[in-house]
């Protein structure tokens, strides 16, 4: 019996005794069972622990059960109170924190200097109580989380299974980056994210506070950074984020806000690493203080996504400004590392500036890339003088940076390999592997985001130590972090959807050497329940049902599937919501036309995702939304959100901003005579820098342009040409005749040049 079948069969009778009980599956491993009748339910511990020995029996918690901390140990008492609060939230039981006392019948936190590593711990649970031992309060905290996870591994449990755990993390840096510059999160929203990071044993919150689109952190010496740089014009979907039409989109963290977040994270053993971008991604700062820019002219705070040309001037006045900013930043953030960005700094303004060129000549610097290296090195030296370490994106390797500088590799893993082999410490954060703003599926209800799809499984299989780093230099890999850049995550719900459950996969890969995807997947139902209980809007796309319908005479054949294959799919055709005893999907279904299918995957009685619905009728078999089409080029494209309606759900469109061209492959045009294509106009607010030359434009045959449909090739005469004048520069459905017989690929293109708006597709409907 395979593991999935075992899980399903055993859950049906409330037992999962023999599923995945092996040393390679540490979160399920069993020891001490006395026979087949003494089934030990699995523990859904995420991340998996280093070693777990299971025993028969459990420790039952009751109202008033004591959590005993050593007398006078402030750190242990904080952990004890945290654990009591967590258990209260999960079970409703109020446990009592005690200052020393009898261990019998209690949860005991104990100092044990023999346990090596500040985050390491040991956990022992018997029927008489539980003991967490560690040399530092960090370890006690992680032991408490393991105990809490064991308590919540089964629904409505008030008992912790008997076990012994020895555990310590694989990496020192286990992180998440949240971009608060492009879209703003409130402090309450950030605390909610930090809470979940702690429960997954992540320990580094990288806070992206400045960029072209905003400067979010209060700097008292330079108040215009937030007064001017903290706001921008609301454009496109941003209009839904402001209180009234025409009002700017703003968001600022006061220094009190920052101190509150830093303290809140520290209570959960999470270090907050601030990022202050330089020398590029500086447009918001230069809009606030243009004297520190190259041109000395004041731009607007950017409303575009992408790469802007504005760089800091490499002058002494600019360095005084940067040092003053960093002085206030260092006073707020006690972190060893200060992130200085260093990425995507195109050098056009430096190249065009006589003053900058003269400075380079005086310094003996031969090109602008080396000038950036000199800039970063000077900042790094300043941080070194103040007992801090510089970390920056991998472009900082283009210059001479201090030996103490660490490198965060985002352009794949190459930067990490180069840096580690040069002796720099590195953090892996490669695109697209760990970019959580990438979409998670091709399901119709997937939210806006970058492509390609980064599934839960794909992220789980990421290995933080590239094979090109030698064993000797692997010690320089501090760890890894996932990133959420916020162009298309404008709300807290979107941030949560992007982060969870994929962040759980990264948590496991950075905590333990074990890597067992199927075992991790079997632990996900309990983890998804934890997210739900904490009101986290976790994405269920890894478990959501996808429909594939094809014509089959006067009926349709429908295939159902999920990304992971976990659980069994149950469906209905009568309009009712599927339940665990609804018909089970075992093979493609023949359905009459029309039929409304609704389907959900289940493990036992637990639905793994929200039900998905598909209407199957004659029209739907001849219809594709843009999100179901392919793009014409190698570009991965993105899912872009419509600007309207301001209130309510907005349409998502799949598009390549460089080439508005889509393919619908293998279309049977027998009897098809007409086509209807939905179009919409979105802001083309993309700063492409030197890549602008690669934008594909096609000649228009009218002032407004056309949507053209061609057969098989994207060249040649169109089989349909639908004039965009009928759209009146907004959302519309264009209709026309379609010439063609037999089976063909349809190539659908938009003529004209994008900017300041561009056309996107919605549904493409063929008509007989």
Active site residue ranges: 211, 281, 344
* Residues 432-453 as b or e (16 or more Cβ within 10 Å = b): bbbbbbbbbbebeebbbbbbeb
Q: Exposed (0-12), middle (13-18) or buried (19+): which is 224, by Cβ within 10 Å?
A: middle
557 by Cβ neighbours in 10 Å (0-12 / 13-18 / 19+) ranks as middle
The Cβ of residue 313 has, within 10 Å, a number of other Cβ atoms equal to 24
Beta bridge partners of 250: 231
Give the tokens for residue 350: 């430096």
SS3 700: coil
Neighbouring-strand partners of residue 761:
679
d(CA 544, CA 338): 40
CA–CA dist 464, 171 (Å, integer): 9
d(C-alpha 86, C-alpha 74), whole Å: 18
Of 141, 200, 142, 133, the closest CA to residue 164 belongs to 133
Between CA 470 and CA 464 the distance in angstroms is 13
Query: CA 740, 742, 745: angle at the middle one, nearest 5?
Result: 75
In what helix (H) or strand (E) does residue 174 lie, and over which residues does it extend? strand 173-179
How far is the C-alpha of 481 from the C-alpha of 273, rounded, in Å?
12
Q: What is the DSSP string of 601-645?
A: EEETTEESS--EEEEESTTGGGEEEGGGSEESSS---EEEEP---
Give the N- to C-terminal CA distance of the chain in Å, as an integer. Answer: 49
Residue-wise over 679-704: b if at least 16 C-beta within 10 A, else e?
Answer: bbbbbbbbbbeeeeeebeebeeeeeb
Q: What is the DSSP string of 356-398?
A: HHHHHHHHT--SHHHHHHHHHHHHHHHHHHTT-EEEEEGGGGG
CB of 372 within 8 A of CB of 308?
A: no
- Whole-angstrom distance, CA of residue 656 vs CA of residue 626: 11
Q: Three-state SS string across 105-150, please?
A: CCEEEEECCCCCCCCCEEEEEECCEEEEEECCHHHHHHHHHHHHHH
Gap between the Cα atoms of 122 and 134, Å rounded: 7
Q: How far is CA 500 from CA 506, 562, 649, in A?
A: 10, 17, 21
DSSP class of residue 435? B
Q: CB within 8 A of 652, min separation 6: which ones?
A: 446, 447, 448, 627, 639, 640, 641, 642
Residue 163 C-alpha from the chain's centroid: 33
CA atoms within 13 A on the CB side of 745: 14
| CB within 8 Å of 603: residues ≥ 6 apart | 7, 8, 11, 525, 566, 567, 568
């Amino acid at each position: 019996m395979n593991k999935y079948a075992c899980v399903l069969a055993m859950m049906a009778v409330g037992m999962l005794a023999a599923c995945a009980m092996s040393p390679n599956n540490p979160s399920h491993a069993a020891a001490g069972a006395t026979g087949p009748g003494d089934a030990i339910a699995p523990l859904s511990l995420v991340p998996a622990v280093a070693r777990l020995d299971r025993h028969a029996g459990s420790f039952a918690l009751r109202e008033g059960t004591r959590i005993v901390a050593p007398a006078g140990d402030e750190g242990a008492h904080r952990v004890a109170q945290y654990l009591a609060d967590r258990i209260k939230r999960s079970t409703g039981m109020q446990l009592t924190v005690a200052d020393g006392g009898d261990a019998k019948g209690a949860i005991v936190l104990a100092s044990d200097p023999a346990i090596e590593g500040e985050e390491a711990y040991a956990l022992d649970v018997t029927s008489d109580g539980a003991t967490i031992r560690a040399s530092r309060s960090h370890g006690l905290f992680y032991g408490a989380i393991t105990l809490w996870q064991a308590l919540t591994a089964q629904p409505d449990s008030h008992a912790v299974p008997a076990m012994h755990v020895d555990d310590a993390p694989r990496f020192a840096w286990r992180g998440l980056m949240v971009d608060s510059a492009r879209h703003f999160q409130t402090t309450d929203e950030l605390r909610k994210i930090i809470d979940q990071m702690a429960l997954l044993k992540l320990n580094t919150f990288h806070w992206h506070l400045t960029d072209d689109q905003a400067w979010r952190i209060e700097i008292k010496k330079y108040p215009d950074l937030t007064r001017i740089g903290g706001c921008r014009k609301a454009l496109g979907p941003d209009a839904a984020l402001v209180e009234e039409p025409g009002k700017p989109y703003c968001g600022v963290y006061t220094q009190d806000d920052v101190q509150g977040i830093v303290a809140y994270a520290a209570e959960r053993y999470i270090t907050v690493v601030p990022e202050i971008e330089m020398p590029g991604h500086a447009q918001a700062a230069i809009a606030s203080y243009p004297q520190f820019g190259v041109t000395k002219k004041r731009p607007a705070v950017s409303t575009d996504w992408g790469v802007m040309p504005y760089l800091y001037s490499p002058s002494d006045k600019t360095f005084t400004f940067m040092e003053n900013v960093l002085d206030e930043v260092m006073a707020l953030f006690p972190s060893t590392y200060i992130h200085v960005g260093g990425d995507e700094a195109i050098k056009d303004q430096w190249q065009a500036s006589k003053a900058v060129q003269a400075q380079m000549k005086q310094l003996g610097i031969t090109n602008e890339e080396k000038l950036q290296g000199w800039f970063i090195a000077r900042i790094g030296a300043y941080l070194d003088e103040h007992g801090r370490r510089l970390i920056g994106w991998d472009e900082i390797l283009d210059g001479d940076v201090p030996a103490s500088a660490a490198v965060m590799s985002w352009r794949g893993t190459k930067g990490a390999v180069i840096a580690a082999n040069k002796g720099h410490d590195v953090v892996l954060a490669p695109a697209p592997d760990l970019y959580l703003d990438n979409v998670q599926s091709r399901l119709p209800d997937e939210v806006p985001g970058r492509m390609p799809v980064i599934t839960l499984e794909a992220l789980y299989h990421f290995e933080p130590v590239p094979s090109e780093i030698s064993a000797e230099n692997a010690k320089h890999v501090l760890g890894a972090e996932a990133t959420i850049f916020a162009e298309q995550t404008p709300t807290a719900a979107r941030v949560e959807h992007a982060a969870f459950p994929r962040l759980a996969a990264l948590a496991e890969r950075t905590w333990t050497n074990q890597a067992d995807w199927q075992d991790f997947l079997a632990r996900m139902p309990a983890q998804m329940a934890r997210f739900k209980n904490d009101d986290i809007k976790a994405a269920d796309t890894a478990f959501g049902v996808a429909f594939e319908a094809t014509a089959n005479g006067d009926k349709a054949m429908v295939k159902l599937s999920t990304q992971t294959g976990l659980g069994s799919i149950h469906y209905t055709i009568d309009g009712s919501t599927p339940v665990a005893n609804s018909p089970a999907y075992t093979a493609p279904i023949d359905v009459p036309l029309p039929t409304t299918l609704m389907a959900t995957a289940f493990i036992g009685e637990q639905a793994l995702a929200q039900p998905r619905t598909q209407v199957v009728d004659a029209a739907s078999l001849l219809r594709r939304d843009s999100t179901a089409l392919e793009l014409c080029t190698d570009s991965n494209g993105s899912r872009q959100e419509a600007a309207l309606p301001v209130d309510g759900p907005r349409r998502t469109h799949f598009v390549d901003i460089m080439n508005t061209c889509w393919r619908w492959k293998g279309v049977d045009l027998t009897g098809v005579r007409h086509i209807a294509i939905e179009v919409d106009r979105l802001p083309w607010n993309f700063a492409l820098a030197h890549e602008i030359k690669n934008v594909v434009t096609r000649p228009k045959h009218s002032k407004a342009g056309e949507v053209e449909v061609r057969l098989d090739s994207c060249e040649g005469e169109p089989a349909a040409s639908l004039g965009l004048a009928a759209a009146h520069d907004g959302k519309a459905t264009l209709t026309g005749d379609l010439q063609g017989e037999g089976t063909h690929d349809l190539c659908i293109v938009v003529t004209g040049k994008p900017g300041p708006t561009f056309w996107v597709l919605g549904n493409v409907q063929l008509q007989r």
